[in-house]
Structure 1
C-alpha cells in the first residue's frame, strides 16, 4: 500500500501582523476560459500580471540567496522541443524536488498520482502545449471551504542553461508538476511560502477531505486493518519522520513508501537489496521487488512504526475508523471568527473566566435510519481549521487552536459563563499549532455544543468548523436571552440587507471620510436606546477614523468599516448590559465593569484617567465616548504588543512617537 514520506520540520517564529484592522483582500479569481479565448483570438500568449515572472513571485527572504545567477523565466517550448503537459504513461508522473524545501507538498502531490480521478479534478486533463495552446493553464484547489480555480501563465524560473529551479519531472519534457507548483505558490503568496508545511495541509487542499492523524509510537492495535480500509476506500496517505532515519527491525506486514525526493531509500529489511526477498516465492518476489534507486521502497509495518512519527490519512469519506463502509455521510460547514474583546475567549484551562465568550455551535446528532448501530453511538468527525489573515501562508505562525464538546439539553440560547464552571467537556481539549485540528467521536444521539477556541485569549483569526456524521443538524448559537440587540438592528445591519446597503453605499464611495462616517452612524436607528437619541459628533468620528486609518489617507475602506461596525455592535451590547438604569451613561463603577466585560484588563488609575479625558464633569461616559475610549485602548494595546521586543517595554524614534500620540 502506498505512502508518501516527508521530513518533518518545525516552523521558525515569524513576526505577527501589525493590527487586527490590517485588511487582507483575497485575490479575485480569474476566468480561465475567457482569458484563453481572448489570447487565442488575439494570437498571443498569456501573461499573468497578478503573479509576474519576477523575484516578487519567488519571495523576499532566504530563498532568494539560493537562486542561481542569471535566473530566467522561460516557457516550456523554449526548454524542450516537444513539451508535454500531462503524460499518458504513469511512470512519467514522477517528480523531483527543487530549491524550495517543500517535500510536504511534493509528497501530497505524488499521493495524488495513485488516484487518477482525484488528480484529474485538481489538474484538468484537457490542457496541452499543442491544441488550443495560449501559454495559460489552470488548476483547482479546495481553499478554506470552497473550490477555487487558479490561473497561471507557463513562464517558469530556470537556470541560464535551461534547468527548472523548482519542481521538475523525472521526464524532462513533462511540465504538469512545475505548473501546478506555480499555481499553488500563487494561491499562497509566493514560492517561498511553500518552504514549510505539512503533508496533511496539501492533502486537504487537493481533495477537500478530512484528516486523521495517527501517532505511530502509540498506534492502535488494529493499525494494519485501518491501513487496509484506507487503501480500499481510496484515501490518500502520507507520513513524516524526523531527520536521520537509521535501519533496524524485523518484518511483519509490508508497506510501500515513496520518498518525494525521488532518491534516498530505506536500507534495512525489505529494502531493494535485502536478503528477506529470498524468503518469498519467485512470483511474489517478481511482483513486489524493484531494484531501482527511484525513492520507492518497502518496509515492515514494525519498522514503519519505529522510524516514522505520524501517519496522516486524508479521508474523502469519514467512515474510516467506524468500519461503516459504503454508507452515506452528511457534511456541514460553518465559518466564524475569534475577535479580540468579543469572541476570543481563549481556552478553558487558561482563562475560564472568558471562555464563554467564544463562538458556540449547536449540534444535534441524529440516529441514521439505515444504520444497524442507530440505537447505539454514532461516529462523528469534527474538524476546526484556522484561516490566516495574510495571503502569504508563512508570514505568521499558526495559533494553538482546539475545541470542546459538551452534552447539552435542547436550546437555542448561548451557554452562560456559569455553565462552563459546572460542566466538563466530553473529552480533554487538544490544542495544536497547526492549520487544522480533527477528532473522531462516538456519540450517543442527542444535543451537543461545540466551542472552538484558541489556547490564549484575545487572539484573532477566522476559522472554519466542519462536522461529518451519518445524520446531524449544526447551527451557530445566539446571544444570552437576558441581553440581545434590537431585532431591527440585527435584521437590518447584520444580515443580507445590511450587506447590500453598505455594499451599494461603498460602490458610490469606495473610501469614506469623517463627515460621511458621521452621516452613516447618525442615520442608523439605534432603537435599543429607548430613553434618548444617540448622536455621534464630528470630533468623535474624526477620532474614530484616525484610530482605524492604517495608511493615514483620512478615509476608511469598506473592509475597515466592517471591522468598525462589528466593534460598535459589541460595544453596544457591553454598554447596555452595564448601563443598568438606562441613563445612557456609565459611571466609574459601571465603566470598570464594562471594560472587564470586554476581556481587557486595565488598572483603576487608567480607567479613572480615561473617564476624566472622555467623560462629562461628573466623570460619566456616554456611548459615543465609550466607543472612542475602547477603540483607543484596543489599538494602543495592539501597538505595544507589536513594538515590544521582550513584552516589557518599547523604544520609539521621535517620528514614531509623534505619529502614535498625535494621529491616533
Structure 2
C-alpha cells in the first residue's frame, strides 16, 4: 500500500486542477481535462525514486502533451551531472524518507539568471498512469516533476504545446545553442556539421527536427523533435565505412523502417558481431539512420554548447573555454531608442554598446529578447514551428570595429560590419561568433520595425578578456574586465 498522502504540500499557485492544465483552450488537451486526475508518485508506482541508475532508462517519453521539444532538450541533463544538479538541486527529500512533504524545487535560466520554481508532486494521470512525460523507467520521476515546474513557469501545461528545442535548451543550460539547417547547407558545410556532431556527441545534447514531412521509408511526422543519443562509425563486410546516427523518438515507439531500421536489410552487410553492437540495447523509440538518410529526412540539427569541468561554456567549433563573460540589459523605447533596422534613418537611435577586446579572442555575442505579454494565440514563426507563446519581435545584432573612442557614428554604420545577422529573426535568443583582434567595437542590437518597444539582454562570452559598457554620449565610462563562470 502506498503511504498516506494527506497533509502533504499542495501548491496554491499551481494547484492540481484544470486551471493548471489549460488557460485559454484551443489545443487537443482541452477535451481531456475532465478525465485527468492528479496523483502523487507513490500512488502511481510502488517504489518511486527521482533518478534511474541506468541513464539509458532515463530517456523521456512524451505522453499526450505536445512537448517533444522540451523532452528532447531534457537530454542535456543526462550529459552533465553538474548541470542536472543545477536544474534539479540535490538534497530534496523524496518518497518513503523522513521529512518528505511532497514539495520539490527546480531551477531554470531566465533572462540572465537562474530562478527557482517550487511545485507539489501531484501529477496529471489518466487512470493510474502518468498522461504526460515519463521516463523509460517509469519508476523514475525527475522528468515529470521537471515538466510540471516548466509548465508552472509558463502558466499551464497547455502552454508547452509546441515550441522550440533551442529555447528549452537555453532555459535548462543557461548557455549557447546553435541551430543548423540541413536543407540549404552546402555539402562541405554538411560534412563539417557531421564531424562536429561526432566529436561532441558525448559532451553536449544534440537534437534533430522534422519541420515538414518528406517521402521516405519511414513516417517521421512533421513539426516533431527527436534526440540524437549516439553517433558511431561502422564498417561493412566489403570495407565500406559508415556513419550511423542513433535517434530517439519521444513518442516512445519506432517510426522508422529505413534500410538501417530495427529490421532493415542493410544490417546483413555487416558481420553479425558488428551489427549486434548497434542493435543491442536499443530503447523503445530508438532507431539507427545512416548519415545520407539522416541528411535527407531531417530538416535541422540543434546543438547545445558543452560545459567543461570548471563549469565554463566551451566553443563547439574550437573547444576553447569561454572564460570571460559579461551581460548588460537594455530596452528599445518608442521615440527614444527604438530605431528599427538599418533600413531606417533612425537606426542610430538604437541602444549602442562599447566592447573592448584586450587580446585576440574567439567571441560570442548573444542577444536575448524578453517575450512580451502572453496573448494566447497561435502563429507560425520564420522557423516553421507553430507555437503558442509570448510574442517575439524580429531582432538583429551588428558589430563594427572602431579605431578610437571619438568617431563619426553615421560614417561607421555605413561601413562594412565585422559581424552581423544576415536578417532580423524571431528567435528568442540569437548569437554571433567572431574572431576579434584587440581593440574597440561598436555593438548595436535592433528590432526590424521602428518604434517597437521591448527589453533585451546582451551577453558577451569570450576566450580572452573583454569589457562591455553601454555607450553614453558625452560620458566617459571606464572599462573593467569581468571573469565569471556560467
What TM-score range do you get, normalising by the shorter chain? 0.7 to 0.9
CA–CA distance in structure 1, aligned partners of residues 283 and 470 of structure 2: 56
- Per the TM alignment, residue 82 of structure 1 is displaced from its structure 2 partner at its CA by 2.5
**8 Å CA contact 1:322, 1:379 repeated in 2:** no
Q: 1:292 and 1:313, CA in 2 relative to 1: closer, same or farther beyond 3 A?
A: closer
Deviations 1:153-179, CA, capped at 9 Å, x for gaps: 0112223x2232322333443322111
Deviations 1:241-269, CA, capped at 9 Å, x for gaps: 12424436998422221112211332213
Q: Which runs of 5+ in 1 are unaligned?
A: 1-42, 368-373, 491-664
SS at match of 1:359: coil
- Per the TM alignment, residue 79 of structure 1 is displaced from its structure 2 partner at its CA by 2.5
Deviations 1:6-59, CA, capped at 9 Å, x for gaps: xxxxxxxxxxxxxxxxxxxxxxxxxxxxxxxxxxxxx94112111122222222
Q: 1:298 and 1:392, CA in 2 relative to 1: closer, same or farther beyond 3 A?
A: farther
CA–CA distance in structure 1, aligned partners of residues 44 and 195 of structure 2: 47
Q: 1:170 and 1:291, CA in 2 relative to 1: closer, same or farther beyond 3 A?
A: closer
Deviations 1:481-507, CA, capped at 9 Å, x for gaps: 3xx8xx9xx9xxxxxxxxxxxxxxxxx
CA–CA distance in structure 1, aligned partners of residues 274 and 320 of structure 2: 31
- Per the TM alignment, residue 134 of structure 1 is displaced from its structure 2 partner at its CA by 0.6
**8 Å CA contact 2:88, 2:107 repeated in 1:** yes
**Aligned residue among 393, 401, 410 for 1:407:** 401
Q: Which runs of 5+ in 2 are unaligned?
A: 1-5, 219-239, 308-312, 377-387, 478-486
CA–CA distance in structure 2, aligned partners of residues 113 and 309 of structure 1: 24
SS at match of 1:313: strand
**Aligned residue among 135, 141, 147 for 1:181:** 147
CA–CA distance in structure 2, aligned partners of residues 433 and 264 of structure 1: 33
Paired position in structure 1 for 2:108? 141
Paired position in structure 1 for 2:449? 456
Deviations 1:435-463, CA, capped at 9 Å, x for gaps: 11122122232221110111111112211
CA–CA distance in structure 2, aligned partners of residues 115 and 262 of structure 1: 23
Paired position in structure 2 for 1:379? 362
Paired position in structure 2 for 1:61? 25
Structure 2 residue 433 is matched with structure 1 residue 440: yes
Q: Which residues of 2 match residues 218-237 of structure 1 at below 5 A? A: 218=185, 220=189, 221-232=191-202, 234-237=203-206
Q: Which residues of 2 match residues 82-97 of structure 1 at below 5 A? A: 82-97=47-62
Q: 1:296 and 1:479, CA in 2 relative to 1: closer, same or farther beyond 3 A?
A: same
Higher relative contact order (CA 8 A, sep 6+): 2
**8 Å CA contact 1:253, 1:301 repeated in 2:** yes
CA–CA distance in structure 2, aligned partners of residues 177 and 245 of structure 1: 31
SS at match of 2:440: strand
Q: 1:93 and 1:322, CA in 2 relative to 1: closer, same or farther beyond 3 A?
A: closer
Q: 1:265 and 1:147, CA in 2 relative to 1: closer, same or farther beyond 3 A?
A: same
Paired position in structure 1 for 2:279? 289
- Per the TM alignment, residue 147 of structure 1 is displaced from its structure 2 partner at its CA by 1.2
Paired position in structure 2 for 1:625? none
- Per the TM alignment, residue 384 of structure 1 is displaced from its structure 2 partner at its CA by 0.8
**8 Å CA contact 1:189, 1:391 repeated in 2:** no
- Per the TM alignment, residue 290 of structure 1 is displaced from its structure 2 partner at its CA by 4.1
- Per the TM alignment, residue 391 of structure 1 is displaced from its structure 2 partner at its CA by 6.9
CA–CA distance in structure 1, aligned partners of residues 445 and 199 of structure 2: 30
**8 Å CA contact 2:66, 2:162 repeated in 1:** yes
SS at match of 2:304: strand
- Per the TM alignment, residue 397 of structure 1 is displaced from its structure 2 partner at its CA by 2.3
**8 Å CA contact 1:229, 1:320 repeated in 2:** no
Bigger drift between 392-401 and 105-114 goes to 392-401
Structure 2 residue 363 is matched with structure 1 residue 398: no
**Aligned residue among 249, 252, 256 for 1:262:** 252
Paired position in structure 2 for 1:37? none
The Cα RMSD (Å) is 2.8
CA–CA distance in structure 2, aligned partners of residues 90 and 421 of structure 1: 51
Q: Which residues of 2 match residues 225-624 of structure 1 at below 5 A? A: 225-232=195-202, 234-247=203-216, 252-290=242-280, 294-317=284-307, 319-323=314-318, 325=319, 327=321, 329-349=323-343, 351=344, 353-367=345-359, 374=360, 378-390=361-373, 394-411=388-405, 418-419=410-411, 422-427=414-419, 429=421, 430-481=423-474
- Per the TM alignment, residue 100 of structure 1 is displaced from its structure 2 partner at its CA by 2.1
Bigger drift between 110-119 and 55-64 goes to 110-119
- Per the TM alignment, residue 99 of structure 1 is displaced from its structure 2 partner at its CA by 2.6
CA–CA distance in structure 2, aligned partners of residues 320 and 263 of structure 1: 34
Q: Which has the higher strand share?
A: 2
- Per the TM alignment, residue 478 of structure 1 is displaced from its structure 2 partner at its CA by 3.2
Q: Which residues of 2 match residues 155-166 of structure 1 at below 5 A? A: 155-159=122-126, 161-166=127-132
Paired position in structure 2 for 1:493? none
Highest Rg: 1 or 2? Answer: 1
Structure 2 residue 120 is matched with structure 1 residue 153: yes
TM-score under structure 1 length normalisation? 0.60
SS at match of 1:337: strand
Equivalenced residue count is 426
CA–CA distance in structure 2, aligned partners of residues 328 and 112 of structure 1: 20
Q: 1:427 and 1:87, CA in 2 relative to 1: closer, same or farther beyond 3 A?
A: closer
